[in-house]
Amino acid sequence: MKRSTFVAAALLLAAGCNQPPQPTTSPTTGTLSDAAVAKAGANRPQIALVMKSLANEFFKTMEEGAKKHEQVNEDKYKLISNGIKDEQDIAKQQQLIEQMIGQKVAAIVVAPADSKALVPVCQKAAAAGIVVVNIDNRFDADVMKEKQLTAPFVGPDNRKGAKLAGDFLATKLKPGDKVAIIEGAPTAFNAQQRKAGFEDAMKQAGLVVADSQSANWETDQANKIAAAMLTAHPDIKALLCANDSMALGAVAAVKAAGKTGQVLVVGFDNIGAVQELIKSGAVLCTVDQHGDQLAAFGIDYALEMLQKKATPTDKETPVDLITAETLKK
């Protein structure tokens, strides 16, 4: 089943979510280049937002949040937003960064599709005097050190968020029950952390992870993998999906197998389509990482770096468990 079908249907029913959270302020250290500071001078600086797949509702929500932030702060900066069509099109994302370097933007706020592969081109941007802020998916620390890239990370603790969902699932099952995990892209740090968070919760509750495979964040891949898991492990009680797009594919597979109500589905991202499935009972819960605010947090930090001539430290943003009870409030 095509993901666009799920999303289109969900958009008709999408509802609002919780009040936006406020991030915690961090101290500042380090010094920016004069070139970056100069770009923030008399003229409005251009800030580029480089996201992953805009076919994913989560990143469309992120982009909409960034545009609203620009409207409110139109005197402070000009936004350039970019995204890729495929979560795995790393080469295209690298190309977008190169374009922003050529355009001499003041800052780049990037949600990297790959935690390692995007580091070199972002180091190139930093060397050109461009402020780089890493959001959503954290760069690999070892590769950053190797390439001598300094870029603060603004985003959630994905492991903590995934454990929230796993802990809630555990209240619906009993020790010894079998579950399966549908992972994100293996090279993405946030995918690794969400898998670890699910595993933390399952181990603590005495649940058995019978299978774990990557569907690369994609709905169609998740649908096929979930269907195969349900056949190979007919006694599994739940599918823990590392993002909501994959949860949509898992729900379709559960329905096709005639196991709706027998196999629970967990997601991560809190997109509108999954909110409706939580209300109907087809999805047990998801995790809100406040995608509508995530880019805005990163842009605020980029502006702070430009204005204060300093490099802020990492900033953790909130994650919240979303259930049917939460959505009633």
Tens of each residue's pLDDT in the chain, 329 residues: 334 434 433 333 333 333 334 443 333 333 445 555 444 445 799 999 999 988 888 899 999 999 999 999 999 999 999 999 887 889 999 999 999 999 999 999 999 999 999 999 999 999 999 999 999 999 999 999 999 999 999 999 999 999 999 999 999 999 999 999 999 999 899 999 999 999 999 999 999 999 999 999 999 999 999 999 999 999 999 999 999 999 999 999 999 999 999 999 999 999 999 999 999 999 999 999 998 899 999 999 999 999 987 767 899 999 999 999 999 87
Domain boundaries, the chain: 46-154+291-316, 158-288
**Which of the listed CATH numbers 3.40.50.150, 1.10.10.410, 3.40.50.2300, 3.90.79.10 matches domain 158-288?**
3.40.50.2300
CB-based contacts of 30, cutoff 8 Å, min separation 6:
150, 310, 311
d(CA 92, CA 109): 16
Which backbone phi and psi does 160 adopt, to 5 degrees? Answer: -65, -40
Q: In a 3-state reduction of DSSP, which class is residue 261?
A: coil
| Structure-block tokens of residue 112 | 């990297």
**Which of the listed CATH numbers 3.20.20.80, 3.40.190.10, 2.60.40.1480, 3.40.50.2300 matches domain 46-154+291-316?**
3.40.50.2300
Residue whose structure tokens are 């402070």: 76
Which backbone phi and psi does 198 adopt, to 5 degrees? Answer: -60, -45
List C-alpha distances in Å: 122 to 107, 109, 151. Answer: 11, 10, 9
> What is the C-alpha end-to-end distance of the chain, expressed in Å?
32
pTM: 0.79
